[in-house]
């Protein structure tokens, strides 16, 4: 089967797979690209940041890499290419979870999340990052 077609990206603090093809989502920021992450101190990393990709049926063995890049800028965070075995899901949906620890966003702006599979871009979306005002953290 081919790699699943990704149709949505949830952004949250954390997510974990549960029994019976369910997931627990913690600290939901929203559905990209309509997500704005507000950071208290832009000089410190946030942890964790998780991307939950929702897709259609698919399956097989793939090599995946994820990149988070500031639009128009040089800043980028990349994972090394990693084996991504997906059991064939038949007519069911596929959920993929990518979790980042201690990610630093050095500047305000629009960031791009890119999933590359077998050397080809498979899914992209954007989200905004900005420093928060003190009253937003009370």
pLDDT at 19: 85
- Mean pLDDT for all residues in the chain: 92
Distance, CA of 9 to CA of 92 (rounded, Å): 17
Domain CATH for 118: 2.60.40.1930
Say if 22 falls within a structural domain. Answer: yes
Say if 1 falls within a structural domain. Answer: no
Six token digits for residue 94: 């596929």
Beta carbons within 10 angstroms of residue 119's beta carbon = 8
Say if 16 falls within a structural domain. Answer: yes
Say if 86 falls within a structural domain. Answer: yes
Distance, CA of 94 to CA of 85 (rounded, Å): 12
> Which residue stretches of the chain have pLDDT < 70?
89, 91
Element (H, E) at 8: strand 6-17
Say if 95 falls within a structural domain. Answer: yes
Say if 116 falls within a structural domain. Answer: yes
| pTM across the whole model | 0.92
Predicted confidence (pLDDT) per residue in 27-38, tens digit: 999 999 999 999
- Please give the residue range of the domain that contains residue 42: 6-137
pLDDT at 91: 67
Number of domains in the chain: 1
């Amino acid at each position: 089967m081919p790699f699943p077609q990704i149709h949505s990206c949830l952004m949250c603090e954390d997510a974990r797979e549960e029994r019976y093809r369910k997931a627990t989502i913690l600290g939901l920021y929203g559905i990209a690209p309509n997500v704005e992450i507000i950071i208290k101190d832009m000089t410190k990393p946030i942890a964790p940041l998780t991307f939950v990709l929702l897709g259609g049926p698919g399956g097989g063995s793939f090599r995946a890499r994820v990149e988070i890049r500031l639009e128009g800028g040089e800043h980028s965070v990349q994972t090394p290419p990693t084996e991504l075995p997906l059991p064939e899901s038949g007519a069911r949906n596929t959920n993929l979870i990518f979790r980042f620890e201690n990610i630093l966003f050095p500047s305000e702006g629009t960031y791009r999340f890119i999933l590359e599979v077998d050397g080809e871009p498979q899914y992209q979306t954007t989200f905004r990052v900005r420093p928060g005002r003190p009253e937003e953290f009370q």
